[in-house]
Amino acid sequence: MSVYRKSGDDEVHEYTSHRLASPGLVREHVNLALERPWVARVALTEHVREVTRRLITEFDLPGGGWPSPVPPSPPHGRTAARFYEIEGLQGGGLLSADDVRWHLERLRGDAERLGGAAGPVGMNLWELTVVDYSRPTTEDRIPHTTRDA
């Protein structure tokens, strides 16, 4: 939320709030700002993080030592990062391609020591792409929740 005031014929940016986590909190901040007589306008920006997941194989990972390729940014968005995740890996979290290869080799070694096959470890491998969007919005377009009553 950004607040603007009039200064003569000009509109001056007064302040921008931190990110507000709920629709009710946005409405509350807008109402508080509009109670001030010097406020000429309140501008709202919606911030959305979109995470897409795609099931891949180990062979789909970028070459060793290479950073994970990031796709072109979509309209009104900024591609933040690409990560990988081994489903079921305890404490694995979001990994680089090289980290995935290291974990898979370790898991294969563990399987061999326990008498299992040296092939794939049987866990799903996911590619995660994170895209951040920032776009202007209005109070009318903010979703209504049961707390707004």
Q: What is the pLDDT of residue 149?
A: 52
Local confidence band at 143 (pLDDT 50, 70, 90 cut-offs): confident
Q: What is the pLDDT of residue 118?
A: 53
Which residues on neighbouring strands pair with residue 7, listed in sequence order? 10
Q: How many CA atoms lie within 13 A of 59 on its CB side?
A: 2
At 8-53, the pLDDT tens digits run: 889 999 999 888 888 889 999 999 999 999 999 999 998 888 999 9
Cα–Cα distance measured from residue 83 to residue 142, given in angstroms and rounded to the nearest whole number: 30
Local confidence band at 117 (pLDDT 50, 70, 90 cut-offs): low
DSSP 126-142: EEEEEEEEEEEE-GGGS
pTM: 0.65
At 124-140, the pLDDT tens digits run: 899 998 888 888 999 99
At 94-106, the pLDDT tens digits run: 788 888 888 888 8
At 56-87, the pLDDT tens digits run: 998 889 887 777 777 788 887 887 788 899 88
